């Protein structure tokens, strides 16, 4: 179900752009997500499936599921026990693995040894420009498929280097991550993934591609009416 949220949409876009929300002939989809959330990974892949046939402008909006983690993260086992409690972590992970497998995604959660702070990983995406979809996919695969530490400067330097993004650029952009997270929280977002189509329609959860495609068509129609006005 969509909800009208024009002020929230503009606030989120301004937090990324540093000014008025950019306008484009293409529909804009703002993806509010974290990089250690399996449901965000699933939602991202579904959104990319839609993008293959329905071009749009993708904007990444950071959300920190664990904003108070230290920069070097904590052991994964400690994190899971604190978050889910004894006996519940395995079932929570199994649900995510099953959902991903149905989409052809293989989650190798047993390879993850540390739960990272994702501040620098988000900052990398804020600097990725036209490489955003590929860079986001690379980060998601690094964590969920390869078990790499997304809080590691070495890991991020290697991934960023594939797209011409230096680690100093990443560090410079890191202050924008907390501001973007705070803007999302102020607008009432308390969980991810969330998709914002233009300024008007937001929908939460790893929605199926058909639902995302329908909302994209709605935003495309709204833009067409705006151009005629």
pLDDT digits (tens, 9 = 90+) for 146-195: 999 999 999 999 999 999 999 999 999 999 999 999 999 999 999 999 99
CATH number at residue 200: 3.40.30.10
Q: What is the pTM of this model?
A: 0.89
Instruction: Report residue 24's pLDDT band, with 50, 70 and 90 as the boundaries.
Output: low
pLDDT at residue 41 tops 70: yes
Q: How many domains does the chain have?
A: 1
Q: Half-sphere exposure of 78 toward its Cβ, with a 13 Å CA cutoff?
A: 7
pLDDT at residue 101 tops 60: yes
pLDDT at residue 223 tops 80: yes
If you average pLDDT over every residue of the chain, what do you get? 90
Q: Give the domain range for residue 222.
A: 3-228
pLDDT at residue 22 tops 80: no
């Amino acid at each position: 179900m969509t909800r009208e949220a024009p002020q929230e949409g503009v606030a989120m876009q301004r937090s990324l752009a540093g000014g008025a929300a950019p306008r484009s002939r293409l529909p804009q989809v703002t993806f509010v997500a974290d990089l250690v959330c399996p449901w965000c990974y699933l939602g991202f892949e579904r959104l990319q499936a839609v993008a293959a046939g329905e071009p749009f402008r993708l904007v990444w909006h950071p959300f920190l599921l664990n904003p108070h983690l230290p920069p070097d993260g904590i052991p994964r086992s400690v994190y899971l026990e604190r978050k889910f409690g004894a006996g519940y972590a395995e079932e929570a992970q199994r649900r995510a693995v099953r959902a991903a497998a149905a989409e052809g995604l293989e989650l190798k959660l047993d390879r993850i040894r540390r739960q990272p702070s994702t501040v620098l990983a988000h900052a990398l995406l804020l600097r990725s420009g036209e490489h955003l979809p590929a860079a986001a996919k690379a980060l998601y695969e690094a964590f969920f498929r390869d078990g790499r530490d997304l809080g590691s400067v070495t890991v991020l330097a290697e991934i960023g280097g594939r797209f011409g993004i230096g680690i100093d650029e990443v560090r410079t952009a890191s202050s924008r991550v907390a501001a973007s997270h705070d803007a999302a929280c102020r607008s009432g977002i308390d969980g991810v993934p969330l998709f914002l189509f233009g300024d008007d329609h937001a929908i939460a959860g790893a929605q199926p591609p058909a639902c995302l495609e329908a909302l994209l068509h709605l935003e495309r129609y709204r833009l067409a009416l705006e151009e005629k006005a």
